[in-house]
Structure 1
Amino acid sequence: MDIRFQTGGPSQWKADVVVTFVFEGEGVEEACAALAQSAVWLSIAPAWRDFHGGRDESVMFYGPQAMEISRVLGVGLGKADKADMTAFRYAVGKAVRRCRDYDLATVGLDGASLARVAEKLGVSFDALVREAVIAAYLALYRYDRWKSEKSPHADPRWLALMLEGEYVENDVRAQARMAEAEARGVMLARDAANDPANVMTPSAFAQKAEAVASKYGMKALVLGPDALAAEGMNAYLAVARGSVEEPRMVVVEYAPRGSEGQKPVVLVGKGLCFDSGGISLKPAKGMEEMKGDMSGAAAVLGVMEALGQLAPSLEPKRPVVGIMACAENMPGGHATRPGDIVVAKNGKSVEIVNTDAEGRLVLADALAWAQEKYEPFRLVDIATLTGACAVALGPDSAGLFASDDDLADLLHKAGMALGERNWRLPLWTAMGLEGLKSSCADMANSGRREGGAINAAVFLQQFVREGVCWAHIDMAAADNGESPINAKGETGFGVRTLLSAVWDDDRDMLQ
């Protein structure tokens, strides 16, 4: 689907259908006065009698076929004082899906209606355009690779933002382009995480990452078992020992023009392409979803895809390094056993008391390696790490831990504004280390249930050097879901939040 712009007001707009947004209790003249001036039939359409603008309510209005605008889809947003950005995104998603079901090839968004919604929600017009565009893309996403019978309904060919003025503001164009790039990144992450584990192996993920790097002229480095061993990444290797699929740590480096000499933003993603729990085997129910335990790595790769899409017209000032630590955690004759001790890359010995607490082992070595090879301006890791975080915050939410208040504020505000809800949790180091005590090693990889997400974050903190600006995002409750902008399955959560971290603080593109 292409993104287009139409200017000059309703008399110049052309599309199979125009989508307009209505708050509860509004009539046609209040809701879409500009549109009604051109589509004069709209004000007398009988269906208005049955359409009240309630949330989840929509009506297709039909006018004379000979007119340039012969269909208008009215989408309800509910009470104006109760509406929020999530409701708006969902409304856009439902609208474009309905257009697809009706086989409508060209869809317009009523710009005057969008301006009213932006005012009601207290956001800028260009920011709302960004959310409308990405919601449309994400709503149309389908993962049907393995279905022998595909849907007969094709996506619309284009989505047009229809404006009253004679030209399109640069900020509006920029935000629409940003949304398109973000959507490409999110959809790539969804594809990777939705792929079954017999297809999306660590080697296959590495190939996918190399393809992204090659497409955009980025550098790629892949570390296999021998290279990981040479780097002393024994905690990482311990996780992979039980699987016939070899681990791969993939590094993609993006160096924007003029970024020479700048410290990089380093993003690290957990890439467990399948997590059985190892010897500490998980229950059978729901284990099929563990193909998505590489959603953190998928999100990092999605960021690199989005950056490639944006370049060269929009680039961060600093280099960006994406590190994706991929492996499988399986039982087997060579698998790591509870009670085994390994020495991680930073020299700390770890007693592995639970092989299902594997993500932190992979991330620990990856974080230590990242700081040795680079001097990060910011270091952010993302992982489906603990069920405890899901218990604490509920579905569709991520836990945020950070050593730096400014970075925590940036990630929290970005996530909340962009539909990737997160909440900061404390790094209570003393409590976490008390729970991770081992009688025979520097620390254990797992401790008591209470404060489980904090304990895991404190474990990772032991592999972050003093003074490094670091944040950890635990997205265990947000990687899988279903909504009007997410077909059932993996969500691509984290791409938009991580992307916000690659810009310096003085950039306001993502605010």
Structure 2
Amino acid sequence: MDIRFQTGGPSRWKADVVITFVFEGEGVEEACPVLSQSALWLGIAPAWRDFRGHRDELVMFYGPQAMEISRVLGAGLGRVDKADLTVFRHAVGRAVRLCREYDLATVGLDGASLARVAERMGVALETLTREAVISAFLALYRYERWKSEKSRHDDPRWLALMLEGEFVEDGVRAAARMAEAEAAGIMLARDAANDPANVMTPSAFAEKAREVAVKYGMTLRVLGPSDLESEGMNAYLAVARGSAEEPRMAVVEYVPRGAEGRDPVVLVGKGLCFDSGGISLKPAKGMEEMKGDMSGAAAVLGVMEALGRLAPSCAPKRPVVGIMACAENMPGGHATRPGDIVVAKNGKSVEIVNTDAEGRLVLADALCWAQNVYVPFRLIDIATLTGACAVALGMDAAGLFSSDDALAALLHEAGMNLGERNWRLPLWTDAGLASLKSACADMVNSGRREGGAINAAVFLQQFVKEDVRWAHIDMAAADNAENPINAKGATGFGVRTMLSAVWEDEGDILQ
């Protein structure tokens, strides 16, 4: 689907359907006064008598077929004092899905309606434009790769932002372009996480990273088993030992023009392409979902895709490094056993008391490697790490841990504003280390059940240098969902939040 702009007001707008937004209790003159000046039939459409503007409500209004605008789709937002960006995103998602169901090839967004909604919600028009465009793309996403019968309905060919003025403001155009790039990154991440584990192996993921790097002129390095061994990444290798699929750590480096020599923002993603639990085998029920245990790595690759699409006109001032640590955790004759001890890259010994606490072992070595090779301006890891985080925060939310208050505030604000809900949880180091105490090694890899997400974060903290600005995002409860902008399956969570963090000026990526 292409993004277009139409200017000059309703008399020059043209599309199969125009979407307008309505708060509860509004009439046509209040809801879309500009649109109704051109589509005069809208004011007398009988369906307005039945349309209440309730949240989740959609009504299609029909006018004379010969008119340039012969259909208007009203999307209800509910009470204005209860409406927020999530309500708006879902309204857009429902609306564009209905347009696809009706086989409407060209879709317009009433720009005057967007401006009015932005004002009433207290947000900038650029913000609402960005959310409208990305919501449209994400709502239309489908994963049908393996279905013999595909959907009979094609996506709209284009989505146009319809404006009153003669020109498109730079901020609005930039917001739409940003949304398009973000959506591409999220959809790449969804595809990777939705792919089955017999297809999206560690080697296949590394190849997907290669495709992104080649497409955008980025640098790629892939570390295989011998490389990991020579680097002393024994904790990482311990996880992969039971699988016939070899581990791969893909490193994509993006250096914008003028950023050479500056300390990079480094993103590290957990890439367990399948997690059976190893010898500490998971229950059978729900194990098929463990193909998505590489959603952290997928999100990092999604960030690199978005950056590539934005370049060169919109680029951060620092290099960005995406590290995707991929492996499989399987039982087998060579698998790591509970009670085994490994020495991680930084020299700390770890007693593996639970082979299903594997993600932190992979991340521990990947974090150490990142700090040995680079001097990170910011170091952020993201992982589907602990079920305990879901217990603490509920579904569709991530736990945020950080040793730096400013970085934590940046990530929290970005995530909350962009629809990737997170909440900062404490790094209680003393309690965490007490829980991780081992009788025969520096630490165990899995502590007490109570405070499990905190204990896992404290474990990772032992592999981060004290002077490094580091944050850990535990997205275990947010990697899979179903809602009006997410077809059932992988979410691509984390792409937008981490993309915000690669900009030095407190995440203002539209400047």
TM-score normalised by L of structure 1: 0.99
Does structure 1 retain, via aligned residues, the 8 Å contact 2:201–2:245?
yes
* Inter-partner Cα distance in structure 2 for 1:270 and 1:229: 18
Does structure 2 retain, via aligned residues, the 8 Å contact 1:414–1:510?
no
* Inter-partner Cα distance in structure 1 for 2:297 and 2:507: 25
- 1:4 corresponds to which residue? 4
- 1:442 corresponds to which residue? 442
* Inter-partner Cα distance in structure 1 for 2:403 and 2:131: 30
CA positional deviation for 1:261? 1.5
- 2:195 corresponds to which residue? 195
* Inter-partner Cα distance in structure 2 for 1:342 and 1:108: 58
* Inter-partner Cα distance in structure 2 for 1:208 and 1:490: 17
Does structure 2 retain, via aligned residues, the 8 Å contact 1:274–1:329?
yes
After superposition, give the CA deviation of every residue in 1:467-503 in whole Å (9 maximum; x if it has no partner).
Answer: 1000000000000010000000000000000001100
Residue 455 (str. 1) matches residue 455 (str. 2): yes
Equivalent residues in 2 for 1:375-414 (5 A)?
375-414=375-414
After superposition, give the CA deviation of every residue in 1:127-166 in whole Å (9 maximum; x if it has no partner).
Answer: 1000000000000000000000001100000000000111
Residue 489 (str. 1) matches residue 485 (str. 2): no
- 1:26 corresponds to which residue? 26
* Inter-partner Cα distance in structure 2 for 1:121 and 1:263: 38
Relative distance call for 1:245 and 1:180 in structure 2 (3 A) is same
* Inter-partner Cα distance in structure 2 for 1:270 and 1:154: 34
- 1:318 corresponds to which residue? 318
* Inter-partner Cα distance in structure 2 for 1:322 and 1:378: 12
* Inter-partner Cα distance in structure 1 for 2:405 and 2:448: 27
Residue 466 (str. 1) matches residue 489 (str. 2): no
Number of residue pairs the alignment of both structures matches: 511
CA positional deviation for 1:331? 0.3
CA positional deviation for 1:119? 1.0
- 1:215 corresponds to which residue? 215
Equivalent residues in 2 for 1:343-422 (5 A)?
343-422=343-422
- 2:287 corresponds to which residue? 287
Unaligned ranges ≥5, structure 2? none
* Residue type of the alignment partner of 2:242: G
1:77 aligned counterpart, secondary structure = strand
* Inter-partner Cα distance in structure 2 for 1:184 and 1:8: 30
Residue 110 (str. 1) matches residue 110 (str. 2): yes
Does structure 1 retain, via aligned residues, the 8 Å contact 2:410–2:506?
no
Relative distance call for 1:504 and 1:239 in structure 2 (3 A) is same
* Inter-partner Cα distance in structure 2 for 1:171 and 1:507: 16
- 1:156 corresponds to which residue? 156
* Inter-partner Cα distance in structure 1 for 2:500 and 2:48: 42
- 2:505 corresponds to which residue? 505
After superposition, give the CA deviation of every residue in 1:319-375 in whole Å (9 maximum; x if it has no partner).
Answer: 000000000000000000000000000000000000000000000000000000000
* Inter-partner Cα distance in structure 2 for 1:398 and 1:135: 20
Relative distance call for 1:482 and 1:371 in structure 2 (3 A) is same
Equivalent residues in 2 for 1:54-203 (5 A)?
54-203=54-203
After superposition, give the CA deviation of every residue in 1:216-239 in whole Å (9 maximum; x if it has no partner).
Answer: 000000000000000000000000
* Residue type of the alignment partner of 2:103: D
Runs of 4+ more than 4 Å apart: none
1:306 aligned counterpart, secondary structure = helix
Does structure 1 retain, via aligned residues, the 8 Å contact 2:500–2:507?
no
* Residue type of the alignment partner of 1:455: N
1:213 aligned counterpart, secondary structure = helix
Relative distance call for 1:345 and 1:335 in structure 2 (3 A) is same
* Residue type of the alignment partner of 1:395: M
TM-score normalised by L of structure 2: 0.99
CA positional deviation for 1:510? 5.1
* Inter-partner Cα distance in structure 1 for 2:505 and 2:411: 11
Does structure 2 retain, via aligned residues, the 8 Å contact 1:500–1:510?
no
- 2:36 corresponds to which residue? 36
* Inter-partner Cα distance in structure 1 for 2:109 and 2:382: 35
Relative distance call for 1:299 and 1:276 in structure 2 (3 A) is same
* Inter-partner Cα distance in structure 2 for 1:488 and 1:201: 22
CA positional deviation for 1:507? 5.8
* Inter-partner Cα distance in structure 1 for 2:455 and 2:206: 30
Does structure 1 retain, via aligned residues, the 8 Å contact 2:194–2:490?
yes
CA positional deviation for 1:505? 2.0
1:354 aligned counterpart, secondary structure = coil
Does structure 2 retain, via aligned residues, the 8 Å contact 1:397–1:420?
yes
* Inter-partner Cα distance in structure 1 for 2:180 and 2:478: 22
Does structure 2 retain, via aligned residues, the 8 Å contact 1:96–1:136?
yes
* Residue type of the alignment partner of 2:290: M
After superposition, give the CA deviation of every residue in 1:157-210 in whole Å (9 maximum; x if it has no partner).
Answer: 000000011100000000100000000000000000000000000000000000
Does structure 1 retain, via aligned residues, the 8 Å contact 2:126–2:172?
yes
* Inter-partner Cα distance in structure 2 for 1:421 and 1:120: 23
